[in-house]
Amino acid sequence: MYKNNLLANSVRLALVSGAMTAAFTVPAVIAADEDGVERIEVTGSRIKRTDMEGANPVTLIDAAAIEKMSVNNVGDLLQNLTSSAGAAVNTQTNNGGDSSTRFSLRGIGSERTLVLINGRRVVAGGGGANSSVDLNTIPTAIVKRVEILKDGASATYGSDAIAGVVNIITKNDFEGFEVKLNYGGSDKGDAKTKGVDVTFGAESERGNVVVALGYSDQGDVFMGDRSFSEYELRAYEDGTTQQGGSSAPPWVNANTADGRVTRGPEYGDWRPYDGATDSYNYNPVNYLQTPSKRRYASVFSNYTLGEFGFLGEVNSFAEANYVQTTGNRLIAPEPLAPLVFFGSPAPYSPNNYYNQKMGPKDANGNAYQIDDWRRRMLETGGRANERDYKTFRTAVGFNGVFTNGWDWEVSYVWGQSDSVEKAQGYFNLDRVAEAVGPTGWLDSNGNLMVDGNGDAIVDAAGDQLVCLDADGGVIAGCVPLNIFGTPGSDDQVSQEMLQYISGDYNTTETGQNKQEVLSAIVSGDLFDLPAGSVGFAAGWEQRTESGSYTPDSLILQGITTAGSAVGTSGGYQVQEFFGELIVPILSDMPFAHMLDFEAAMRYSDYDTFGDNTSGKLGIKWMPVESLMVRATLSEAFRAPTTSDLFGGASVGFPEAIDPCDGNFYTDAEYAAIKASPNWANCTGTGVPVDGYDSGGVEQIPTNGGGSENWNGAVTLTPETADVLTVGLVFNPEFIENFSMSVDYWKIELDNAISTVGTQTRLDGCFNSNEYCETITRFGADSAAAGGIITVDNYTVNVGGIDTAGVDFDFRYTLESGIGDWGFGIDGTYLLQYDKYLADGSVIDHVGRFEGNHDGMFAEWKTNFTVNWSISDFNTSLITRYISGVTETEAGWWTDPFERDVDSNVVVDFQTNYAFNDHLTLTAGVDNVFDEAPPFVYSAFGANTDVSTYDVIGRTIYVRAGIRF
């Protein structure tokens, strides 16, 4: 009956090929019997249907395909898709990451991709008041398949489904007992991974239950262990590179009255500081891959309760998932530069013992007062963050079929994620200022030693060196700080010194996300038309989202270099009504084997901004049985989240260049800037008339947070999008076992919920006197007069994104005398990605890496899969290709220039052998040829884009599966 049917062949090809993405848009397994195919719910529609494919483009990743990859969470799985783009974080993201993995479909942001489990929402995860789901919390061991709807779906699912939907279908019908053991690591001896997953299920005539338990452990890799990331590299237009680094080195960078001086990497005599040779290379001690551990327990069950009148046979269901993830971040030791980096004056006194003994001297041999001093505090071992995330989610409900044949369901979903983050290796700036102030000596009786004038003796043969206040009094407990010594030697920063300025100032931050969803839905056939039955679905949903972030008192008061932040607390509630129709227009006619019209509408009422209505239209036309043409036109939206609205102000340090800073110009160029009309915009914000030189500050302290921080000046509204898809699915009868799909998509996003950006605010002030009120500088009486203290960059509605492209998927299988073969290639060709900024400028992302504008947007991304099976062996080879891009490199060392980033090809190999029905062994090699990622010098950290490329290199893994 189904031999030549398009859908049945698609399913068969997908299962035979076992490729990473299934043939076409098959979103579920066919359950056929003598009566035909049962009704199922297709991702992208609430209407249960028998034909399995609607007008929406949906990609399937089934359990067989997941088994052919070494990933152990859904996030890593999705980031390998060709439709993934941009800069979504993963566990390769150290500085700026949070031990989570996110998925950014189409590269328009993880917050614009809705994640569901079994068709229901999932609570956000992370450090608190988050806007997207942490996909690390969904282990692949519980996944039956993943369905990716690559279309706007707000009319069906509500807010956030602008780029599309990820629907994770879990193993809720497993029977038996299964254990999976895995172990792997890189061929360099690091990045070791190990894990165990246990699944068992039981079934009866009235229901079933599935329980899954597991543990995984991912090891670390350091940047210093890979040649491409061993040094921070500065690129030049002639193709050469130079080792770079930080202007806060362990050999000290001191700005004296006679110029900047340093002891240099040789720790020798004081000499002029040279940024080209005296910067500190912080790369080696940063993680390239962050370590993490995960424990999980999941239960899925359903039970038939019996007949209940007009409700029909009622079935109950329940899901419960608990995941604990612990992760670490380690970045280079703190660059302690109190004044310039943190805006906190801490002048190193000329009456400090260590300054007099070891500090730089003027021509008369006198110590300087050093207002701007910078020293990398190697003795701390680095800035370490430990994260502990716990996520619990449950879904319960009832469903059945009314006596009139309509399906119904009521459900309740509750989810909560809690986080605790502890940080060490940071400093109390008030205590630093005390420790580098004037010092004195106590004698054996505990008295301050003074000269004939009653002044403290700086250089004396006393019993204890102490800190003095401005009045010459002893500061109780203070330990003077020596920044001039050599780390690892007797004169390094001692543990007593560290204890006073750092030891008691480890910080703790807590956070939470909560979600409650109550919904009811009914679906079925309204009436019959000549071409078939008119299907419908209608429902109601009430959703409550809330979140919080609570910094400890140290961060709240901003007295440590860990940063300053204000707590977040808030939430919102939404009531929604939705409906869908599928209207069959033609059936079994010439050039119209099938013609269906689809429509959906959703009304949402938020207690924060008001209401919103989204609609969707779709058409599915099959002129013949082997060809389907489909199209959709959707309205999608994303409502402001808790963090968008109520996020407390916090300080970050994005890379940006101040146009008013003389450090980035030649003398002649700076003179021209000061003579231009724009110079008045600089002086108007506090830049001295003669200008200023930051000494190379490129990470600008920036206040971020929700719109509430604008104190009522900004009211956020939803961002909206128009989404168009047009595609075809073809299973030609004249080429047996060949299938293909091609889909064009276009997204026009307006009124984006975002930020203007630090660089845009600085440029806007300089060029047109716009945003100047958001820039705060040091005053004229400061040693860093004109330097930036902070830039306010809170959330607003600003700009938009227009993006378009083509997805394609080709599959072919054949049987031969040496086994069965499956070939597949899927890919994405990016045609357009224009980002509209607040100043009206447009940034074209296609074929580019945009460090300050969302990351990597390769023009071509493809995955080519070859599968071969014979007897009990099954082998696969997956080749992942990312085309080359262009980046813009800029810095104080060079004028901006564009350079080409090489394309990237990574080959993964796996083979497995089924010894019997109970034991299967698998061995695999990821990145078989140990392909290093291409250099992307404008990326933050590692000299490459850690969000896009494999940075670990060749890894080898083994897996054993035991089932009874």
Cα separation of 344 and 355, whole Å?
A: 20
* pLDDT at residue number 892: 76
Q: What is the dihedral of CA 831, 835, 836, 839, to 10 degrees?
A: -130
Which residues of the chain fall below pLDDT 50?
1-37
Q: Which amino acid is at 858?
A: A
Contact 548, 128 (CB under 8 A): yes
CA of 11: how far to CAs of 14, 24, 593, 626, 871, in Å?
5, 9, 20, 14, 22
* pLDDT at residue number 20: 35
Token pair for residue 336?
């302690």
* pLDDT at residue number 172: 84
CA of 278: how far to CAs of 203, 246, 487, 537, 836, in Å?
69, 9, 16, 68, 39
Q: Which amino acid is at 309?
A: G
Beta bridge partners of 253: 374
* pLDDT at residue number 38: 58
User: 82-119 pLDDT, tens per residue?
Assistant: 999 998 889 999 988 888 999 999 999 999 999 999 99
Would you call 328 exposed, middle or buried from its count of C-beta atoms within 10 A (0-12, 13-18, 19+)?
Answer: middle
* Three-state secondary-structure class, residue 625: coil
Cα separation of 614 and 597, whole Å?
A: 17
Does an H or E element contain 559, and which? none
* pLDDT at residue number 26: 37
User: 717-738 pLDDT, tens per residue?
Assistant: 999 999 999 999 999 989 999 9
Q: Which residues contact 451 (CB under 8 A, 6 or more apart)?
A: 457
